[in-house]
Amino acid sequence: MGKAAKRAYTGAPSSSKQVDAAKHLGSVFKFNTDLGQHILKNPLVAQGIVDKAQLRPSDSVLEVGPGTGNLTVRILEQAKNVTAVEMDPRMAAELTKRVRGTPGEKRLEILLGDFIKTDLPYFDVCISNTPYQISSPLVFKLINQPRPPRVAILMFQREFAMRLVARPGDSLYCRLSANVQMWANVTHIMKVSKNNFRPPPQVESSVVRLEVKNPRPPIDFNEWDGLLRIVFVRKNKTISAGFKSSSVIDILEKNYKTFLAMNDEMVDDNNGSMTQTVKEKIGTVLKETGLAEKRAGKCDQTDFLKLLFAFHQVGIHFS
């Protein structure tokens, strides 16, 4: 992934300069809203987001979607260095121009390209005015970093942010909620009105604090994700209903055969007997855990862990 520039800036602009810069940029070229380009123009909100990160002078910070640098310049005031990943070459050029010749010039590195496909350097903190179409991939890329950040301060569409923090029984509680909350502690810290952006998005935004759990829970990510994909297909239906799908049975049967082969056990599938065996195992697990008639939308982490452990005990796996 190419490095567009190595530039930095240490002095935050005045409020009027920041707003004027946003207006000027908008007149120079059209923002690409398909890339989620909504520039944060309110300096008080920008400063508030950076302050929430509680940066240390020794911190290396990753910024996703820096745009024209309204967050970047404030981060550089407090951190050791910043790596900014920007998709749009025009934005990268504007940011490079903005920081050229300033005292912190050598402390900013711009990586030009798709964040999801970019190999990331080590970083202590992530701050992002997130391009909304990469919200979920961004969260899981951060969670699955070999050395995850100490904290991430992330701005998302309001509904997505509220899904991240939703609890069992909440209307927005979903697979995303249960999955992310296994690996990280997430808290809602700030609402941001759409009027604080140029151009204004169609929806309101929120900022969350995400702190990846350390040590990491001793659970296979793909197993956990695989189970949640099944039980949350229809979160208000019973959990047993999710396991009646023929496609789910086929996947679990294939996984069960793999499990038997890896453990040097005979795989006997005469007259479809393996399918029946898998169905019986599923039924037994759901009955013994007492979760057959429960709804995923009302189950908590303990319930899902109980279910996953019980399936593993009988050789049923999800990845």
- Residue numbering of the annotated binding site for S-adenosyl-L-methionine: 38, 40, 65, 86, 114, 129
Binding-site positions read: 38, 40, 65, 86, 114, 129
- The gap from C-alpha 126 to its chain's centroid, in whole angstroms, comes to 11
Q: Using CB atoms within 10 A of its CB, is residue 237 exposed (0-12), middle (13-18) or buried (19+)?
A: middle
Helical ranges in the chain per DSSP H: 15-28, 43-52, 72-78, 89-99, 135-143, 158-165, 175-183, 221-231, 239-242, 246-262, 273-289, 301-313
Q: How many residues does the chain have?
A: 319
The residue with tokens 């400063």 is 47
Whole-angstrom distance, CA of residue 133 vs CA of residue 243: 31
Q: Which two tokens stand for residue 39?
A: 């520039």
Q: In what order do the strands lie in the sheet with 60-64?
A: 3-5, 108-112, 81-86, 60-64, 125-129, 151-157, 205-212, 184-192
DSSP for 103-123, please give it. Answer: TTGGGEEEEES-GGGSPP---
The whole-angstrom separation of Cα 93 and Cα 142 is 26
Dist. CA 93–CA 69, nearest whole Å: 11
Give the list of residues 6+ apart from residue 25 with CB closer than 8 angstroms, or none.
39, 68, 94
Amino acid occupying residue 157: Q
